[in-house]
Amino acid sequence: RLRGGRALAQDVWSIYNVANLPADCINLGQGYMNFSPPKWVTDAADEALRSLLPNHYSHPKGRIRLRNAIKNFYEKSFNRNLDVENEILVTSGANQGQYSVFTAFLEQGDEVILFEPFFDQYLPSVTFNGGTPVYVPLHPQTDAVTPNNSNWKIDFDELRRAITPKTKMIIINTPHNPVGKVFTREELEKIAVLAEEFNLLVMADEVYDCLVFDGKEHVRFATLPGMWDRTVTVLSAGKAFAATGWRVGWLIGPPSIICPTLAACTRIVFCSNSPLQEAAAAGLEQAAERGFFENQLKEYQERRNILLSAFDRLGMKYSHPEGSYFVLLDISRVNFPEDYPFPESVQGRGRDFKACWFIALEIGVSSIPVSEFYCEEHCTIGENFARFAFCKDEETLRKAGERLQGLA
């Protein structure tokens, strides 16, 4: 039996990979951009590749130029000085960062609380490292009057009941993949009270921190009173600079979390991709003077609006994203023939897997089935939704929006 169970056997990213779909299908599935990182960032990568040292191992903590850039970029939003030796750790993408925290801290049977739906990678990351996931639902506020239900709510009694003497960690993902929720300060403060009371370690996955829309506030969990010492924040160059294939990310946290995680990272990958660390450093160094993140946010907000207006024209319900680059479409009324020639990987799965496959092949737009973001026991809730990514140029999103009118 595979230790990862379902997640290892057939992950959703492999099933809905563009390689398995018709070439002319518009890819709004896996969350990556159809545009390049900014030239002033890739120029730094070119320069690094032509230099000697960045072509070789970097320090396992990360290249010092990048750690300094991270320090200078984030100190203000973390509201504290950051120590480049013990409070910043460069990883091979955010995913390897979060995985390594579990490797460093979980012991057999330790429980980790996940809000469900959850970014699918957390589940095997917890179980491969001996942990036991415990699920606390985010409840969509389905309101018959307004089609857009953006407020996925936490039931704090439910959260409290999920905590046992074995609970070691809780994962908070804000802005949230896949629902696009931005946790409010009030919600995070309530979680902080529980983290304190039950002495929990907190993983704050904030990889979409630069994508918070409509003037909403992104609250860094680590900045809440008393939370710095128990929180590790997970961040990503791929999301920040449209470079998901670089596999460069970073962790920020207290030495008590960063140092054991460094030991794990050193044994897993030794160090992250060196030349692209230089490029990420250039990105962080120059972002403010170029107004990069402000402009990028405006572009993403426009991209979001293009896709949402296509869903509005269709009259289909969706979960209105406050952050991230994902929107969940309610596909409960999308019909498809039961005897459609689904591939084997889709055949045995939930209704959403079939609907997404059918939409990709017949409408020509791919998306990700949302039951993958639920544990097996609760996956029928996710079967009502398909996740569409809007990290694409406007023309592509308009074309996808037109094709999707075919769902009417």
Shortest separation between residue 391's beta carbon and ligand GLN, angstroms: 9
Residue 211 token pair: 């994508």
| Residue ranges in 31-70 that form contacts with ligand GLN under rule CB under 6 A | 31
Beta-carbon neighbour count of residue 106 at 10 Å?
A: 22
| Residue 258, Cβ density class (10 Å: 0-12 exposed, 13-18 middle, ≥19 buried) | buried
Q: CA–CA separation, 199 vs 167, rounded Å?
A: 9
User: Residue 110 or 322: which CB sits closer to ligand GLN?
Assistant: 322
Task: Say how many residues touch ligand GLN, by CB under 6 A.
Answer: 5
| Residue ranges in 139-198 that form contacts with ligand GLN under rule CB under 6 A | 177
User: Residue 87 or 205: which CB sits closer to ligand GLN?
Assistant: 205
CA distances from 93 to 50, 248, 388 (A): 23, 4, 22
Residue 373 token pair: 């973001």
Shortest separation between residue 30's beta carbon and ligand GLN, angstroms: 5
40 contact partners, CB below 8 Å, separation of at least 6: 282, 286, 290
User: Residue 41 or 389: which CB sits closer to ligand GLN?
Assistant: 389
Shortest separation between residue 32's beta carbon and ligand GLN, angstroms: 7
Shortest separation between residue 390's beta carbon and ligand GLN, angstroms: 12
Using CB under 6 A, which of 42, 121, 286, 296 touches ligand GLN? 121
Shortest separation between residue 328's beta carbon and ligand GLN, angstroms: 12
Residue 327 token pair: 């929107």
User: Residue 274 or 366: which CB sits closer to ligand GLN?
Assistant: 366
What sign does the dihedral 14-306-179-252 (CA atoms) show? positive
Shortest separation between residue 100's beta carbon and ligand GLN, angstroms: 16
CA distances from 347 to 74, 335, 342, 351 (A): 46, 16, 6, 9
| Residue ranges in 66-95 that form contacts with ligand GLN under rule CB under 6 A | none
Per-residue x/- track, 272-311, ligand GLN (CB under 6 A): ----------------------------------------
What sign does the dihedral 371-374-380-384 (CA atoms) show? negative
Shortest separation between residue 151's beta carbon and ligand GLN, angstroms: 21
User: Residue 125 or 167: which CB sits closer to ligand GLN?
Assistant: 125
Tell me which H or E stretch contains 303: helix 292-314
Angle, helix 64-78 to helix 274-290, in steps of 10 degrees:
40
Q: 326-330 and 385-389: which strand pairing?
A: antiparallel
Residue of closest CB approach to ligand GLN: 31
70 contact partners, CB below 8 Å, separation of at least 6: 62, 82, 84, 88, 90, 250, 252, 284
Per-residue x/- track, 15-34, ligand GLN (CB under 6 A): ---------------xx---
User: Residue 78 or 241: which CB sits closer to ligand GLN?
Assistant: 241
CB 173 within 8 Å of CB 142: no
User: Residue 13 or 57: which CB sits closer to ligand GLN?
Assistant: 13
User: Residue 118 or 311: which CB sits closer to ligand GLN?
Assistant: 118
Shortest separation between residue 239's beta carbon and ligand GLN, angstroms: 8
Using CB under 6 A, which of 3, 13, 288, 299 touches ligand GLN? 13
Rg over alpha carbons for the chain, rounded to the nearest Å, is 21
Any contact of residue 371 with ligand GLN (CB under 6 A)?
A: no
User: Residue 111 or 206: which CB sits closer to ligand GLN?
Assistant: 206
User: Residue 276 or 370: which CB sits closer to ligand GLN?
Assistant: 370
Beta-carbon neighbour count of residue 301 at 10 Å?
A: 15
Shortest separation between residue 13's beta carbon and ligand GLN, angstroms: 5
What sign does the dihedral 286-291-294-299 (CA atoms) show? negative
Shortest separation between residue 242's beta carbon and ligand GLN, angstroms: 13
Chain contacts with ligand GLN (rule: CB under 6 A): 13, 30-31, 121, 177
